[in-house]
Amino acid sequence: TIVIQGGSASSGFGGSSASSSGNSGVGEIATALEARGETVSRHNSGDVLGAMAAAIAAHQRGEPVNIVGHSTGGDTSVGLAHVLNTLNIPVSTLVSIDSFGLNNTTIPPNVSLNLNFHQNKTPVLRGGPNRALAPDRTQIVNIYRPENTHFNIDDAEDIRNSIVNQILGRRK
């Protein structure tokens, strides 16, 4: 099961901010995963409880929990991974796409793999490298994208394909 977080805390997927907030690439990731048989639960960054419920339900069904988030959705995704850690729920793949916010660069030990895409062209709105709280349990792959901005990094086809292929390749 994939829990997708939209970038802005406004209406998110299917609403007025779905394409205008720079999150169309995240929606395309969700659509590509659904087309390949993945169950996808879509949430904006303000829907923490909905995303947490979806992750818990996936875990209870025995499905791997994968979380993808861009912008503030990336920040929410990292926070969600920390909450799931306190519940002893493993996260197979956590994808943070140029997440920004407070305390979003430390990845908890329940995460097996963190793919972290970040840029520095856009002032203020930018992510950075992540680090694992337990490097022996969590693999961090920081991918710096100097050619992208915060608003187009999730639209990069190679990034979208990499995320989809990584998640599908880690199915149990």
- Average pLDDT of 82-92? 97
Digit-coded pLDDT (tens) for 42-84: 998 888 899 999 999 999 999 999 999 998 888 899 999 999 9
C-alpha distances out from residue 162 to 12, 79, 94, 101, Å = 23, 23, 13, 24
What are the tens digits of pLDDT across the range 55-66? 999 999 999 999
pTM for the predicted model, two decimal places: 0.89
CA-CA distances (angstroms) from residue 89 to 41, 55, 58, 86, 133? 17, 9, 10, 8, 16
Q: Predicted confidence band at 85 (pLDDT cuts at 50, 70, 90)?
A: very high
Q: How confident is the model at residue 108 (pLDDT cuts 50, 70, 90)?
A: very high
Lowest mean pLDDT among 33-37, 66-70, 111-115, 123-127: 123-127
Distance from C-alpha of 149 to C-alpha of 168, rounded to nearest angstrom: 27
> What pLDDT band is residue 125 in, cutting at 50, 70 and 90?
confident
Q: Which position has the higher pLDDT, 34 or 45? A: 34
Burial of 129 (0-12, 13-18, 19+ CB in 10 A): exposed
pLDDT band at 23 (very low <50, low <70, confident <90, very high): low
